[in-house]
A and B are shown apart, each in its own frame.
Chain A
């Protein structure tokens, strides 16, 4: 805890301009990022990533984003699940609710009014990034098939009359992932000293089984399964006959690894492209053997065959046999059946979704109970829905940790006091609800799979839904803003202070005024409009 990187630790001061009808005209954000004592892998890149998606899902014609890095005597901050985008989503989505309240508008109506419409994609936003594809209305529509907001409001009113505080919060989120086009992120772009392509070798053995070498390095995401599915689907075999090997540049091609929700959109795409090369060669072999044209060969029911004559086709094993015992290959063709692909994407990919969270707040103690969490996410066509759900579940749990529990705290003497998991409150399965998930599938034009990353999505999406829900619950008590983490004492102090009680927040409070920024603990989240300094 003391010697590995810390995450988040941004203080974001946000100004938004909007017309009375809710049309947003501009956004200005000044971010102060606590870098810690020195740079590690990506330290200064994290607030830059916040800036990349500062528009969120919205048409915002005028934008200003300034990031200031502050060196402190703490451990360095760096990328943890989301890396700059959770900060962006949080400030935008909490701000949308603040603006809706200010304009006395429904927060979903405000969002819909400003969504980038489906027909505008690919959509360039003011910061200069081009979003690949999106259907933000569709995502919210799907969410609302699961969440009846009118019924909720009636229930909320009934509960309030009994002195119970239930709230609903939304996050219509998007993010940028699939790292990355090397020319954008590399030395002459953002300035990272590396390429960001991914690599794959697809080797079909003489038996017809296959081994895939990936430059990514999955560590529990289940990518072996997804990669095997991609290859098996394209070669007319089954995933159990496809071995996936990764994490060893001694056997596989040079790759960049698993991070930045890139393994499928970049690594998986390189595998798909290598497989396509194998398929091309297989078709040539089959065409030669069947005395047909390669373009007439199709893969159907596990056989490469001439269109319309499936009975005369060849299985992958038969094709591989012909390739490895090269008695009858087309003129000039090399024996063997394996291909290598290095793939450098043309653009990032931009997943999105709509989340809703319902919470009960114990107004006497400040304790929050998440009653319901519904997530509709869009990461393009689903290759493995179970793996997607797993990532979303873990991601939301991670965000619940950020919103309600987790905080690195140094005391006034600079001593780390959250050095173990006793003091650093990481939520367990017992602390989170059962998540309800659903999907929309909007393909990305960036890669042939149409996929977008999903590994960080839940974490990027969820914290504002939770915080907005708590604020929604407590508005009748005069609470309109709370900094994360929403520990019981922080929430209780907010409620008491809204009554004019003058209760200090808990000792780990971060943020504060412009002049005092950075004191207190790490964590994340913007400083409240009631306590922030001027821009």
Chain B
């Protein structure tokens, strides 16, 4: 319940934050909303020696749409849920409870790299990216390269995610199917679908994100390929959804065996696709 002793700084600029992070060494951690990190610290599963709080750093929060969509890393789930952002907003509205949504941030969630979190698989399905700043300057990491392992991302120890970037997927319908035991739980499995219909009603493009079906977020590639370029009727969707668990290795837990999760992924994929194609 009580975390190990740690130092705390709240720098006023990004450069100061980067400098503090780098001086703090490998046991320094960034603090955004704190709703993943602080519980881990209280359980002593994490014991950083220094927290670098980003709350005073300007220009890290906010949403701008200019061709694509750019969301500042410190933008809260609530701010995203309240914006007119389609799938991304709907997903944010399902995260945990109002307290967590009011404090938790998009950048923090992505940097945490929890495969049970909602937004990572969405970024992956969009084919988006994150912009990070480090001592060596700025770089962009594609979503496909971001999630390396359970709670492990390609963001360096001395880097800060500054923004999250989504391509404009104009004309895409979407569906989000999140399955949990309690309303405020992490997803046992969640499936997100983005579907673009061609003028003849066939499937021009489809992207399917899978949450908690592996140690990292995944795309249901086999299901996407089965649908892309073909018909978008109920039978085609059902057939594609049957492939949703291909190539996944879901972790089993008390509430769900791997087989049950694969089953859920197939059912939820069909429902998400139906919503996205409607």
A506 partner, pick from B43, B183, B255, B264, beta carbons under 8 A: B255
Number of A-B residue pairs at CB separation under 8 A: 53
Near A by CB (< 8 A), chain B positions 153-209 give 179, 181-185, 188
A367 to B182, CA, bound (A): 11
Contact B256 A430 (CB under 8 A): no
Chain A residues with CB below 8 A from B252, complex form = 507
CB-CB contacts of A480-505 with B at 8 A, as 1s and 0s? 00000001110011000000000110
Near B by CB (< 8 A), chain A positions 423-476 give 423, 425, 427-428, 430-431
Contact A487 B255 (CB under 8 A): yes
Chain A residues with CB below 8 A from B264, complex form = 365
Given A365-B264, A365-B267, A504-B257 contact (CB < 8 Å): yes
Contact B263 A409 (CB under 8 A): no
Chain B residues with CB below 8 A from A508, complex form = 254
A487 to B264, CA, bound (A): 14
Closest chain B residue to A423, Cβ basis = B254
B259 at interface (Cβ–Cβ under 8 A)?
yes
A517 to B221, CA, bound (A): 45
Contact A489 B182 (CB under 8 A): no
Chain A residues with CB below 8 A from B185, complex form = 425
Chain A residues with CB below 8 A from B179, complex form = 365, 367, 488
Q: How many residues of chain A have a CB within 8 Å of chain B?
A: 24
Contact A405 B182 (CB under 8 A): yes
Given A364-B267, A365-B267, A492-B260, A428-B183 contact (CB < 8 Å): yes
B168 CB, min distance to chain A CBs, angstroms: 33
A503 to B97, CA, bound (A): 33
Contact A488 B254 (CB under 8 A): no
Chain A residues with CB below 8 A from B43, complex form = 420
Contact B255 A489 (CB under 8 A): yes
A417 at interface (Cβ–Cβ under 8 A)?
yes
Near A by CB (< 8 A), chain B positions 47-104 give 97
Contact A430 B182 (CB under 8 A): yes
B182 partner, pick from A425, A503, A504, beta carbons under 8 A: A425
A229 at interface (Cβ–Cβ under 8 A)?
no
Contact B184 A430 (CB under 8 A): yes
A503 partner, pick from B188, B256, B259, beta carbons under 8 A: B259
Chain A residues with CB below 8 A from B183, complex form = 428, 430-431
Chain B residues with CB below 8 A from A423, complex form = 254
Chain A residues with CB below 8 A from B188, complex form = 488
A114 at interface (Cβ–Cβ under 8 A)?
no
A167 CB, min distance to chain B CBs, angstroms: 20
Contact B182 A507 (CB under 8 A): no
A364 to B179, CA, bound (A): 12
A423 to B182, CA, bound (A): 11
Chain A residues with CB below 8 A from B184, complex form = 428, 430
Q: How many residues of chain B have a CB within 8 Å of chain A?
A: 20
A387 CB, min distance to chain B CBs, angstroms: 27
Contact B181 A418 (CB under 8 A): no
Chain B residues with CB below 8 A from A405, complex form = 181-182
Chain A residues with CB below 8 A from B181, complex form = 405, 425, 487-488
CB-CB contacts of B222-256 with A at 8 A, as 1s and 0s? 00000000000000000000000000000010111
A493 to B181, CA, bound (A): 15
Contact B182 A506 (CB under 8 A): no
Closest chain A residue to B39, Cβ basis = A422
Contact B254 A409 (CB under 8 A): yes
A493 to B256, CA, bound (A): 11
Chain B residues with CB below 8 A from A504, complex form = 257
A508 to B255, CA, bound (A): 8
B40 CB, min distance to chain A CBs, angstroms: 12
A489 to B188, CA, bound (A): 11
Contact A431 B257 (CB under 8 A): no
Closest chain A residue to B43, Cβ basis = A420
Chain B residues with CB below 8 A from A431, complex form = 182-183
A432 CB, min distance to chain B CBs, angstroms: 10
Contact A506 B267 (CB under 8 A): no
B239 CB, min distance to chain A CBs, angstroms: 16
Closest chain B residue to A420, Cβ basis = B43
Contact A417 B254 (CB under 8 A): yes
Chain B residues with CB below 8 A from A425, complex form = 181-182, 185, 255
A423 CB, min distance to chain B CBs, angstroms: 6
CB-CB contacts of A261-303 with B at 8 A, as 1s and 0s? 0000000000000000000000000000000000000000000
B66 CB, min distance to chain A CBs, angstroms: 37
Chain B residues with CB below 8 A from A487, complex form = 181, 255
A409 to B264, CA, bound (A): 23
Chain B residues with CB below 8 A from A418, complex form = 254
A430 to B188, CA, bound (A): 17
Contact A507 B263 (CB under 8 A): no
B177 CB, min distance to chain A CBs, angstroms: 10
A499 CB, min distance to chain B CBs, angstroms: 13
A427 partner, pick from B182, B254, B259, beta carbons under 8 A: B182
Chain B residues with CB below 8 A from A506, complex form = 254-257, 260
Near B by CB (< 8 A), chain A positions 243-275 give none
Chain B residues with CB below 8 A from A364, complex form = 267
Closest chain A residue to B186, Cβ basis = A422
A409 to B268, CA, bound (A): 28
B260 partner, pick from A417, A420, A430, A489, beta carbons under 8 A: A489
Closest chain A residue to B271, Cβ basis = A364
A272 to B259, CA, bound (A): 61
Near B by CB (< 8 A), chain A positions 500-527 give 503-504, 506-508
Contact B256 A489 (CB under 8 A): yes
B53 CB, min distance to chain A CBs, angstroms: 25
Chain A residues with CB below 8 A from B263, complex form = 492
A53 CB, min distance to chain B CBs, angstroms: 31
A361 CB, min distance to chain B CBs, angstroms: 14
Chain B residues with CB below 8 A from A409, complex form = 254
B58 CB, min distance to chain A CBs, angstroms: 35
Chain A residues with CB below 8 A from B97, complex form = 428, 430
B128 CB, min distance to chain A CBs, angstroms: 29
A109 to B248, CA, bound (A): 51
A305 CB, min distance to chain B CBs, angstroms: 57
Contact A489 B267 (CB under 8 A): no
A227 CB, min distance to chain B CBs, angstroms: 35
Closest chain A residue to B267, Cβ basis = A364
Of listed A405, A409, A425, A504, residue having the most chain B CB within 10 A: A425
A487 to B260, CA, bound (A): 12
A407 CB, min distance to chain B CBs, angstroms: 8
Chain A residues with CB below 8 A from B259, complex form = 503
Closest chain B residue to A425, Cβ basis = B181
A430 to B179, CA, bound (A): 15
In the A-B complex, list the 8 residue pairs whose CB atoms are closest, starting with the nearest: A430-B183, A364-B267, A489-B260, A431-B182, A425-B181, A431-B183, A489-B256, A508-B254
Q: List 9 A-B contacts (CB under 8 A).
A: A365-B267, A367-B179, A417-B254, A425-B255, A428-B182, A430-B182, A430-B183, A430-B184, A506-B255
A-binding residues in B (CB < 8 A): 43, 97, 179, 181-185, 188, 252, 254-257, 259-260, 263-264, 267-268
Other contacts beyond A488-B179, A489-B256: 17, CB < 8 A: A364-B267, A365-B179, A420-B43, A425-B181, A428-B182, A430-B97, A430-B183, A487-B255, A488-B181, A488-B188, A492-B260, A493-B260, A503-B259, A506-B256, A506-B257, A507-B254, A508-B254
